[in-house]
Amino acid sequence: MCHYALVYASAISEVNPMKKIIKQLIMLFTVVLLAFTAGVSAAQAASPHFKKGGSPVCTVSISGSTATTTCRAVITGLGGEDLLATVTVSGAAVYQCQNGGGNTAPGQNKVVIGPAVAPTFIDSSAIKNGNLTLNTLAAVLTAPSTVTGAEAGCPNPNWTGVNPVVTVTSITLVIEQPPGTEIFNCTKTGTNLTGSVALTC
């Protein structure tokens, strides 16, 4: 009888460690599976894209020596972090040439101006269920009121470039979430960007 009891006790002691190992393996598998599922869910949740009809469009307003540019976009699939949108605008100005007697003639050169940079910070609290209607701050591109005759392309380098008229030649919108991680880079170039300008991302 004692012999059978010892055999039974020995068998039980061998089964118990096996049960322990199986339980530990099941727990480990469950933890790995949960971590994988959470990672997939997070990746799916943060899948930013523009809504239909919500791709970036910038509005360029020009008045003499100044061009003002703002951009708008409607984004969905964003994560829960802060967002930074930066508008960068470059352009050129054409001047009239004025001599010492006040006479003017058209300048022949396009004087490069800019870039003007306008960052817009969006707090995470403004992003609702991954959605955001983005309206950027204005990037203001301003030409110097005067330049040298040589810069303006005047008949005589002693003349002065005056009365600048600005044109916008390049717009870039970079969107980062979180700031430092780029999710969109949208641009448009041309000889005279004005009015509503759709960007390509």
72 and 20 within one domain: no
Q: What is the mean pLDDT of residues 62-88?
A: 97
In which residue are the tokens 């009365």 written?
A: 163
Do both 112 and 160 map to the same domain? yes
My answer on whether 135 and 54 are in the same domain is yes
List, for residues 1-37, the tens digit of each pLDDT value.
Answer: 444 444 444 444 444 544 554 455 545 434 333 333 3
In terms of residue numbers, what domain contains 38? 1-45
Q: Residue 91 belongs to what H/E stretch?
A: strand 83-98
Q: Tell whether the torsion through CA atoms of 32, 37, 40 and 45 is positive or negative.
A: negative
pTM for this prediction: 0.77
Q: Are residues 166 and 96 in the same domain?
A: yes
Where residue 187 falls among pLDDT bands split at 50, 70, 90? very high
Under the banding of pLDDT at 50, 70 and 90, the label for residue 46 is: confident
Nearest CA among 189, 161, 159 for reference residue 173: 189
9 lies in the same domain as 25: yes
Residues 160 and 107 in one domain: yes
Q: How many domains is the chain built from?
A: 2
Whether 107 and 167 share a structural domain: yes
**Strands 83-98 and 160-176: what pairing?**
antiparallel
Whether residues 21 and 111 fall in one domain:
no
12 and 52, same domain (yes or no): no
Say whether both 39 and 57 belong to one domain.
no
